[in-house]
């Protein structure tokens, strides 16, 4: 499965069509969703990288990937798509996002929850990760992107 190149962060749950500035599915900004097919490889890489950094931040605060080789093998065996050149923490997200209801022992996948999350169910953890990832993406948009959009629309001669 990892040999099938994932061409877009889209997960098929787009909320930008409903007016969200940050997609609740893939966490890209509305203009990135709209313009994706026109982006250069460098622009696409920048978006992928930002999403990876934010997701790793969320994941590393909740779990540890202690055996990335095992995790990768489990993803392959279960045919769960993942981006091979991303962090194993992104792979762990794909595992939890796709298998939260079916996984009984996360340790068998090379992943262990940090002590403060060990009492959580995987669906509960998955939802918390998704919420936090969305909030971080939204905060990033509001801090770094929205001010540029707002100032770009201002006419200094008016």
Tens-digit pLDDT profile for residues 18-47: 777 888 889 999 989 999 999 999 999 999
What residues have CB less than 8 Å from 33, skipping those under 6 apart? 10, 14, 16, 23, 26
pLDDT higher than threshold 70 for residue 149: no
What is the pLDDT, as a whole number, of residue 67? 98
At 4 the pLDDT is: 54
- Burial (CB < 10 A; 0-12, 13-18, 19+), residue 115, is exposed
pLDDT for 158 equals 39
Per-residue model confidence (pLDDT) at position 3: 47
The residues spanned by each domain of the chain are 16-152
**At 14, is the secondary structure helix, strand, or coil?**
coil
Summarize the confidence of residues 41-61 as an average pLDDT: 96
């Amino acid at each position: 499965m990892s040999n099938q190149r994932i061409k877009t962060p889209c997960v098929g749950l787009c909320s930008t069509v409903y007016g969200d500035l940050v997609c609740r599915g893939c966490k890209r900004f509305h203009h990135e969703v709209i313009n994706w097919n026109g982006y250069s490889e460098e622009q696409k890489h920048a978006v992928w990288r930002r999403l990876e950094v934010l997701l790793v931040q969320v994941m590393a605060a909740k779990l540890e990937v202690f055996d990335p080789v095992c995790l990768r093998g489990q993803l392959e065996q279960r045919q769960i798509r993942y981006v091979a050149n991303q962090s194993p923490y992104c792979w762990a997200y794909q595992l939890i996002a796709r298998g939260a209801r079916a996984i009984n022992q996360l340790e068998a996948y090379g992943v262990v929850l940090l002590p403060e999350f060990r009492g959580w169910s995987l669906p509960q953890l998955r939802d918390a990760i998704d919420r936090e990832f969305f909030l971080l993406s939204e905060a990033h948009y509001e801090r770094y992107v929205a001010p540029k959009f707002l100032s770009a629309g201002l006419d200094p001669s008016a």
